[in-house]
Chains A and B, each alone.
Chain A
Amino acid sequence: MQASTLQHPVPAAAAVVGPEPLIRIEGVSKRFHETIALEAVDLDIPNGEMLILLGPSGSGKTTLLRIIAGLESATEGRILLAGRDVTDLPPEQRNISMVFQDLALYPHMTAFQNIAFPLEAKRGRNKAEIRRQVEEKAAMVDIGHLLDRRIGQLSGGQRQRVALARALVREPIVFLMDEAFSSLDAILRREFRAEFKRFQRRLAVTMIHVTHDQEEAMTMGDRIVLFNRGRLVQVGSPIDLFLDPATLFVARFVGTPPMNLLRCQVTHDNGAFQMKGEEWSFPLPPPVAERIERGGKTDAALTLGIRPQHLKWRRDPWPGGSIETVVDVVEPVGTEEIVHCRLGKGEMQGLFPLRAGLREGDRAYLSFNFEHALIFDGIDDDARRLT
């Protein structure tokens, strides 16, 4: 992965972008009293994209979604929807549809009334026409037979479908979803991810989905916007974020099992570059070493990042250097197993084919190919990628 792609992340849905993005977010900031919830976010969202706002709780992703919806006002900056400045418009004039975390289905109404609710916002609509549209959307999401039920009589999955139908029944500019799957169990959640994505593709609509679940983001998103502490950290396709994390935070947050991050230092003795950790060291390949030396980062505190799937193991030391660990736990996951290895006080995780042969208590020498290694300039979340 070249560093140049870092500066210009290519939107996956670039093909459908016209000259004008559907949504433009310009320098949006939000402060609550003293605390900064969101800082100077710029973002263009093309038509037809499934965009994921990802980040830990309190990172600003929901705040941005609510600002787009008009439920929260931006302290600074502008929001343009389909070319129109909506920064000061109330939510009811923005033509946006949103699925809330608690779904916000009305318990005093039936499923039918809930789905019809957005259509009744404009007075004097034809009743038969409303019925036709509600039934069409209900059939689409497979709840045609449940329309007379009250919300309290529906299961979690059925409620989710009602919420989806209510969102689909209008033709809004954009669909927003705020942790919409959080009330579902793991199996249903997976099912709905696929289903929402299918509808999004089929109807060619734009969706912005907020989640703190990186796996959900990776599976659903055309592009992911990653937030941390009110700042936009990186924008890119799931694969960009996975292979080409801009900072240590991105590397830490994206991918399961999580990336192994080891503190290290690059030293230069008589023309040979070494990467050294607490209990290990590798000779550094010349191209990597050159880049680090050019950046003046020899002897600085750095972090080495290596994905569990890129680790390889042996029972004896590797000729080119290796990290000596002791196997702690072996977790089979489908066709692979996650092997937790103790390294000093810390831990490394490897993802190996099932029944690779490592058992609890075994000594394992781990190594990797340097083309997969990521080196970060520092040890905190904001540390930028060096290679």
Chain B
Amino acid sequence: MSRLPVGRWLVWAFLSVFTVLTLFPIYWAINTSFKSPVEVYAQPPTFIPRDFTTAAYRWVLDGGKAMPAFRDSAIVSLSATVLAVTIGTLAGYAFSRFGPQVGGDRLAFWLLTTRMTPPIVAALPLFFLFQDIGLVDTYQGLILAYLAFNVPLATWMMRSFFNDVPRSYEEAAYLDGYSLFRTFYRVTLPLVMPGIVATSILVWIFSWNEFLLALVLSGREISPFPPLLPTLASGYQIQWNNITALSLFAVIPPVLIIVLFRQHLVRGLSLGAVANR
């Protein structure tokens, strides 16, 4: 920050405007969620609900569709995260240590290319494929679809975390009589724990918020919450109060997790993911 008072004021002014711009939609969502359907459309808009009501929240809690949707979201996103991070950790280790032998030098790039295709390209083909083998509208189907997108990301991230662990740590363990697997478990894995946490959070948030694949591949038997939201906007009225209440509910778990694990996340996403180095 500048030592000049003028410079400092400019920075503060910029940050204040930025903060307002960032927080306003969130404030507006909270504001709207406590309004009645009529007040939502009031002109001029009210900045504090005139008829304060918790109807929208009651709708979320026992409105029939919302809570099952959260349950489905939780099941799918947690399963996808555990599987993607497990596979990504093992694959990332293999690529980090034996990369040149198994994947060539450009492997990291190839892993990332899977993220370059928009998911919509895969969504419809996946639907037809899944229909043939009975995976549409199942937990397994959606989890599998998420894995296809998350395993490369998790692998790529874990690979770079493993790259930060010096080879000599493992070599010392081999010489001390440890096998490859025990070395991995006793030495390498504990050192990339911050990386695992960071990767898990990213993968989980992706799965929790994912909309497109959930919309295409589910909807009747199972339905995560993101595709539920647009159904509230169809028909003759957009239920903004219910939409915002549902959205705020959906935001709570990621916010809590990020607040709780922010140190891991920061360390994991910046350099030096290896503990205590």
Listed in ascending order, the chain A residues whose CB lies under 8 Å from chain B are 69-71, 90-92, 94-98, 100-102, 104, 106-108, 117-118, 121-122, 150-152, 166, 170
Q: Confirm or deny: B69 has a beta carbon within 8 angstroms of a beta carbon on chain A.
A: no
Complex Cα–Cα for A142 and B176 (A): 22
A101-B179 contact, Cβ under 8 Å, with A90-B174, A107-B276: no
A71-B277 contact, Cβ under 8 Å, with A106-B169, A106-B187, A108-B190: no
- Which of A95, A97, A102, A166 is close to B166, meaning CB atoms less than 8 Å apart? A102
Complex Cα–Cα for A170 and B173 (A): 13
A92 engages B179 (CB within 8 Å): yes
- Which of B166, B178, B275, B277 is close to A104, meaning CB atoms less than 8 Å apart? B166
Q: Confirm or deny: B274 has a beta carbon within 8 angstroms of a beta carbon on chain A.
A: yes
Q: Contacts of B186 on A, CB cut-off 8 Å?
A: 117
A91-B175 contact, Cβ under 8 Å, with A108-B275, A150-B276: yes
Q: Confirm or deny: B191 has a beta carbon within 8 angstroms of a beta carbon on chain A.
A: yes
Q: Contacts of B171 on A, CB cut-off 8 Å?
A: 69, 71, 91, 98, 100, 104
Complex Cα–Cα for A118 and B179 (A): 12
Q: Contacts of A104 on B, CB cut-off 8 Å?
A: 166, 168-169, 171-172
A107 engages B178 (CB within 8 Å): no
Q: Contacts of A71 on B, CB cut-off 8 Å?
A: 171, 174-175
Q: Confirm or deny: B45 has a beta carbon within 8 angstroms of a beta carbon on chain A.
A: no
9 residue pairs bridging A and B, Cβ less than 8 Å apart: A69-B175, A71-B171, A92-B176, A94-B175, A104-B168, A107-B191, A108-B191, A118-B176, A152-B277
Q: Which residue of B lies closest to A107 (CB)?
A: B276
Interface string of B30-64 (1 = CB under 8 A from A): 00000000000000000000000000000000000
A117-B176 contact, Cβ under 8 Å, with A71-B171, A104-B166: yes
Please give the distance in Å from A88's CB to the nearest CB on chain B. 15
Complex Cα–Cα for A98 and B171 (A): 9
Complex Cα–Cα for A166 and B169 (A): 13
Complex Cα–Cα for A96 and B277 (A): 27
Q: Confirm or deny: B118 has a beta carbon within 8 angstroms of a beta carbon on chain A.
A: no
Q: How many residues of B contact A (CB 8 A)?
A: 21
Complex Cα–Cα for A106 and B275 (A): 10
Q: Contacts of A166 on B, CB cut-off 8 Å?
A: 176
Q: Which residue of A lies closest to B174 (CB)?
A: A91
Interface residues of B in 158-198 (CB under 8 A from A): 166, 168-169, 171-179, 182, 186-187, 190-191
Complex Cα–Cα for A123 and B11 (A): 60
Please give the distance in Å from B9's CB to the nearest CB on chain A. 41
Please give the distance in Å from A206's CB to the nearest CB on chain B. 15
Apart from A102-B168, A170-B176, list 13 A-B contacts with CB within 8 A: A69-B171, A90-B174, A92-B175, A92-B179, A96-B175, A97-B176, A100-B168, A104-B166, A104-B172, A107-B274, A118-B177, A152-B276, A166-B176
A117 engages B173 (CB within 8 Å): yes
Please give the distance in Å from B158's CB to the nearest CB on chain A. 17
Listed in ascending order, the chain B residues whose CB lies under 8 Å from chain A are 166, 168-169, 171-179, 182, 186-187, 190-191, 274-277
Complex Cα–Cα for A296 and B182 (A): 64
Q: Contacts of B175 on A, CB cut-off 8 Å?
A: 69-71, 91-92, 94, 96-98
Complex Cα–Cα for A101 and B190 (A): 22
A107 engages B277 (CB within 8 Å): yes
User: Top 9 A-B pairs ranked by shortest CB distance?
Assistant: A121-B177, A104-B172, A118-B176, A107-B276, A104-B168, A91-B174, A100-B168, A108-B190, A152-B276
Complex Cα–Cα for A299 and B175 (A): 55
Please give the distance in Å from A353's CB to the nearest CB on chain B. 46
A107 engages B168 (CB within 8 Å): no
Q: Contacts of A101 on B, CB cut-off 8 Å?
A: 168
Please give the distance in Å from B271's CB to the nearest CB on chain A. 15
Q: Contacts of A152 on B, CB cut-off 8 Å?
A: 276-277
Complex Cα–Cα for A16 and B277 (A): 43
Q: Contacts of A70 on B, CB cut-off 8 Å?
A: 174-175
Please give the distance in Å from B241's CB to the nearest CB on chain A. 49
Complex Cα–Cα for A112 and B172 (A): 16
Q: Contacts of B166 on A, CB cut-off 8 Å?
A: 102, 104
Please give the distance in Å from A33's CB to the nearest CB on chain B. 12
Q: Contacts of B187 on A, CB cut-off 8 Å?
A: 106
Q: Which residue of B lies closest to A91 (CB)?
A: B174
Please give the distance in Å from B169's CB to the nearest CB on chain A. 5
Residue of A101, A102, A104 contacting most chain B CB atoms (<10 Å)? A104
